Structures are given as C-alpha cells and as structure tokens.
Amino acid sequence: MKHLKIHNRFTTELPADPNETNETRQVLNTLFSYVKPTTPSDPKLIHASKEVAELVGISADEIKSEEFVNVFSGKEILPETKPYAMCYAGHQFGNWAGQLGDGRAINLTEVEHNNQYFTLQLKGAGKTPYSRTADGLAVLRSSIREYLCAEAMYYLGVPTTRSLSLILSGDQVLRDILYNGNPAYEKGAIVCRVAPSFIRFGSFEMLTARNELKNLKQFVEYNIKHYFPEIKGEPKEKYLQFFKTVADKTREMILHWQRVGFVHGVMNTDNMSVHGITIDYGPYGWLENYDPNWTPNTTDSQNRRYRFGNQPQVAQWNLFQLANSLYPLINEAEPLEKILESFITDFNSDYTKMILSKLGLCTSAENDAEFITYLESNLQLSETDMTIFYRNLNKIRKSDSAEKALQAIEDAFYKPEEIKDTIKDNWLLWFTDYLERLNQENTSDEERIKLQNSVNPKYVLRNYMAQLAIDAADKEDYSLVIELYELLKKPYDEQPESEKWFAKRPDWARSKVGCSMLSCSS
C-alpha cells in the first residue's frame, strides 16, 4: 500500500507529548501521545469493506494481501507514519470525568484520496498512556457490533464513522459482561474505523479544564482550517460560527437517530464527534417496540439518561459543555446561549417535518404537533414495532377505510390480541385523521409511497440480529456477519430473499443479554 497518500496533519501541527513511554499517566499540555499498537499474536481477517477501502484509496486486491491484515491489526506500521493516541476528557453520565483519552484506540495516520482526508484508527490494538486500569483491547462481540452498525448507519443515511476492517487478534481477552463477578475469556478483535477525524467535544473540554488556552485556540483554529474552511472572519466571530456549525451538525445527526430508532446508549461528551457523526458504538440499540424511555445500556438502567426520547436534550446538554469550553475564546455568554436555545426549537420543527415525511405527508397543518403526539401515544398503548409500523404504512391507499389502514400495520403489534376496545378505538381515530390528511395531499399513493420508502427503512440491525451473528462468529462461522453486512447495504430496498429480517424481535430475545440488555463491557 505504498501508493497511499499519507498525511500527518494532526501530529505535525499540534503539540505532542514529549514522553513516548507507554505508561498510564496524566498527559499535560498536549493533544496526543505517540504510541505503537501491541503486536497481535495471530491476526486473521474476518471481513473488510471494499467500499470503505476504495474510499481511502485501497484496492479490492490489496484487501486480500498479508500487508492489509498486518497493517490493520497493528502488526506492521506503514512507512512515513507514526501512530498516536489522542488526549481528551469528558463528562460521563453527567459527571466530570477528567482525562480519558484514547484508551484503546490508536490512530494510524491520515490518508488523502480524491481530495478527501481520512483518519484511520484501530480500536482494540492495545494499551496507550490513556488506558487507565483497562487493557486497551476489544472483544469480537463488541467489534462485530461496531463494524456492522457503522456501515448500516452509513447506508441508512445517518452521519457516522465508517468501518474498514474487522480482524481477529488471535489473543484472548478477559471480560465480565454483566459486571457480576463472572469474568470469562473472549476472542480479541480489532476494528479499523475511518472518519474525517476522531476529535470529540471532550478534546476541547480537556484544554479548558486545564486552562491550556493557547493550545485551545490553536486547536480550534486547526479544526476550522481543516474541517470547516468555509468559516472566516474575526477570531471571535469565527469561534462562534464554529460552535454553531457543530451544533447544526449534531442536530442533524440526532434527527436521523430519531428517524431510524437508534439509541446510542452512551452519549458522554467524549463520545460526541465535532463532525456531528455517530461515533463509539458500544451498548447501542435499535428501538423495537416504540418506547421513548428505552435504553439498551444496563449501566444506565436506573436514570435512563440516554433513553431514546432524551437524545435531543442530552445533545443540547453536551453542546452546553462544548460552549463552556469555548467560552474563554469568546468571553461572551449570550451568543453561545442563543445557539443553545435555538438547538431545541430548531430540532422540534425539524422533528415535525421528519415525522411528517415518515407519514408521507408533504403539507404541514396547524395541528401537526398534536397529530404526532397522538400517534406517538398510540404507539405506546400496546407494544408496537417502530420499524414495521412506519414501513407498512406503504400498504395503505388513500381510498382505504380506517379499519383497513389499521389492518395494514397489524404486523407491527407484538400482542395483537390487545388491539381491541379503547386501544383499537384510539387507533381508528388516528387513522381516520391520517387518511383525511392523505386525501388532502396532491401526491398520488405511488409518489407518497416512494417518499416513505426512502425514509422508513425496511431493514435495521436489530439487537438480536447482531447477537446471532456474534454467536455464529464465536464458532468461526462468519456467514451471518457477511449476510447482514450485505443486507444492510440496502436498508430501504425490498429484498424478498431476506424477508425473515423484516420481523419483530423473537420472544427468546426479549430479555437475552446482548439483545435487550447490554453493558459497557466491550
């Protein structure tokens, strides 16, 4: 891969940690530490994305080479590169956590291809100065989840990091999945992920918390220069514009999460990308029955801070932390506060439009908010699968009766026997309104359905699907990883041969670890 166009902008333009020993420590006055990946004992490629490889300038043939496995498992370092771990801090579950940093992520380098820049990062390639008491490794289970989900999100149209490769390390990793004193060995794995950069809100928070204001200014300038070059003007104006841009991008990302039913699970500020892309796939999950209070993360089951319905508010809270860390460069609270306030009002109006598009409605009405609230309360009367409900709206025709429309979506009900009496009446009332709205639209059924099918996915990575792929992979059968990867490349298409994945979560998965309950142990 000698032809790769290597860049090291982050490490050449920003202050490095002069200490190159790989020891856990507080690292001051710097943004990163040089660190070499740990050599894996027997790396084996499970899967690589041809599309992501091409994106960064690697050919399909090169994927098959020994060099590819060696480079993306950390066994071999590309010439002209010097891997590094980033130093950042963050708020975890609402509390200031101080220095965190890349504890098990190692950035290999940046590459340029077709005038685009990408950072290539290994996750699970061994300890760094930021590993604290942990081992710097990742298990196959969580690596499959990250690998598949990032690509599924990309094809759903959700801003995200990408996955280049999934490689077994050949080493065993000890994990206590449920944190209940039952640790067991699992297979280790390494994912190479790709993004414009892996800079987080917590990267800025760290500099301000330590009062490293010169570095803060340099770092914000670095971000603007390379990632937001359209931002120009006086320094203060530029920094405000920077904050506004990050807020806008974050808002768009959350809107997509709410559209497809994705729950991140750990929206700590160290897991929020400055690019507004979904990053750090841990105990994430997909809503099956529509429940705004649901979170897949067992670590958060008490407070449910990161529940589905709270994601916009948490994003705003996280942006508030970013605003605080930019404040020393701006010294004026009001314009920052204004941006934060408009985050929620803008989100709410975008949300209404987004749900209307899921319903296939192009024209807004005065009672939109009420109409949507009514729908969302109905969706919670009896367990109703979010994905199936929205997708099956494409079976409804304008000329249908409310009763017929309700029948069109009945596959979405987990307990169809509950759809009677008041629950049924509520649905019939809502469908009566809905059909009236459809009949007021100028679009034909066909046109509407086309729009709906482009925003209501047919296939998402349901938690139990990922778990089935994990269980098989544990027995060295990777066919399901490949099958799901291919399926999720076309989430909006009808794929008749894969109809079995357009189904409600099976009963056995209701309370199985990995399906409805996940921990941060990864």
| Partner that binds at residue 282, options ligand AMP, Mg ion, none, CB closer than 5 to 8 Å by kind | ligand AMP
| Encoded amino acid at 135, one letter | D
Q: Between 136 and 457, whose beta carbon lies closer to ligand AMP?
A: 136
| Partner that binds at residue 410, options ligand AMP, Mg ion, none, CB closer than 5 to 8 Å by kind | none
318: nearest Cα among 32, 89, 153: 89
CA distance 8 to 84: 10
According to CB under 5 A, which one of 280, 288, 300, 400 is a site residue for Mg ion? 280
| Phi (first) and psi of residue 387, to 5 degrees | -65, -45
CB contact at 8 A, 452 and 394 = yes
| Partner that binds at residue 405, options Mg ion, ligand AMP, none, CB closer than 5 to 8 Å by kind | none
Q: Reduce the secondary structure of 23-73 to three states and give it as a string.
A: CCCCCCCCCEEECCCCCCCCCEEEEECHHHHHHHCCCHHHHCCHHHHHHCC
**Among the residue ranges 58-66, 172-180, 270-278, 351-359, the one whose residues contact Mg ion (CB under 5 A):** 270-278
| Residues sharing a CB contact under 8 Å with residue 434, sequence separation 6 or more, in sequence order | 359, 405
Q: Write the CA distances from 305 to 99, 110, 296, integer angstroms.
A: 22, 35, 11
Q: Between 171 and 270, whose beta carbon lies closer to Mg ion?
A: 270
| CB closest to ligand AMP, residue no | 103
Q: Between 28 and 134, whose beta carbon lies closer to ligand AMP?
A: 134
CB atoms within 10 A of CB 27: 20
According to CB under 6 A, which one of 28, 60, 134, 184 is a site residue for ligand AMP? 134
Q: Between 284 and 430, whose beta carbon lies closer to Mg ion?
A: 284
According to CB under 6 A, which one of 86, 100, 274, 340 is a site residue for ligand AMP? 100
To the query of whether residue 421 is one of the catalytic residues in this protein, the response is no
Any idea how long the chain is?
Answer: 522
Assess 271 for contact with Mg ion (CB under 5 A): yes
CB contact at 8 A, 256 and 155 = no
Provide the minimum distance between the beta carbon of 245 and ligand AMP in the complex, in angstroms, as a whole number. Answer: 24
**Among the residue ranges 97-105, 310-318, 378-386, 491-499, the one whose residues contact ligand AMP (CB under 6 A):** 97-105
- The DSSP code for 410 is G
Residue tagged active-site, from 171, 270, 300, 385: 270
CB atoms within 10 A of CB 144: 27
- At how many degrees (to 10) do helices 333-358 and 311-330 cross? 150
- At how many degrees (to 10) do helices 201-209 and 213-227 cross? 160
Q: Between 93 and 374, whose beta carbon lies closer to ligand AMP?
A: 93
Q: Between 88 and 242, whose beta carbon lies closer to ligand AMP?
A: 88
Q: Between 137 and 361, whose beta carbon lies closer to ligand AMP?
A: 137
| Partner that binds at residue 266, options Mg ion, ligand AMP, none, CB closer than 5 to 8 Å by kind | ligand AMP
Assess 137 for contact with ligand AMP (CB under 6 A): yes
| Partner that binds at residue 520, options Mg ion, ligand AMP, none, CB closer than 5 to 8 Å by kind | ligand AMP
265 is in an annotated binding site: no
Binders in 239-258 for ligand AMP, by CB under 6 A: none
300 is in an annotated binding site: no
Site string for ligand AMP, 372-411 (x = CB under 6 A): ----------------------------------------
According to CB under 6 A, which one of 254, 266, 356, 460 is a site residue for ligand AMP? 266
101: nearest Cα among 228, 198, 174: 198
DSSP letters for 81-109: ---EEE--EEEETTEEEEE---SSEEEEE
| Residues sharing a CB contact under 8 Å with residue 128, sequence separation 6 or more, in sequence order | 22, 33, 35, 85, 101, 102, 103, 104, 105, 106, 136
Provide the minimum distance between the beta carbon of 279 and ligand AMP in the complex, in angstroms, as a whole number. Answer: 9
Assess 74 for contact with ligand AMP (CB under 6 A): no
25 is in an annotated binding site: no
Which residue is associated with the tokens 């009945």?
410
Which residue is associated with the tokens 């841009």?
245
Question: If binding means CB under 6 A, how many residues of this protein chain bind ligand AMP?
Answer: 17
CB contact at 8 A, 158 and 260 = yes
Please tell me whether residue 497 adopts helix, strand or coil conformation: helix
Assess 269 for contact with Mg ion (CB under 5 A): no
123 is in an annotated binding site: yes
Please tell me whether residue 186 adopts helix, strand or coil conformation: strand
Assess 25 for contact with ligand AMP (CB under 6 A): no
Q: Between 300 and 385, whose beta carbon lies closer to ligand AMP?
A: 300
According to CB under 6 A, which one of 103, 157, 292, 328 is a site residue for ligand AMP? 103
Q: Which residues are annotated as a binding site?
A: 101, 103-104, 123, 135-136, 193, 200, 271, 280
- Catalytic residues, by residue number, are 270
Give the residues lining the site for ligand AMP (CB under 6 A): 100-104, 130-131, 134-137, 266, 270-271, 280, 282, 520
Q: Which residues are annotated as a binding site for ATP?
A: 101, 103-104, 123, 135-136, 193, 200, 280
Q: Which residues are annotated as a binding site for Mg(2+)?
A: 271, 280
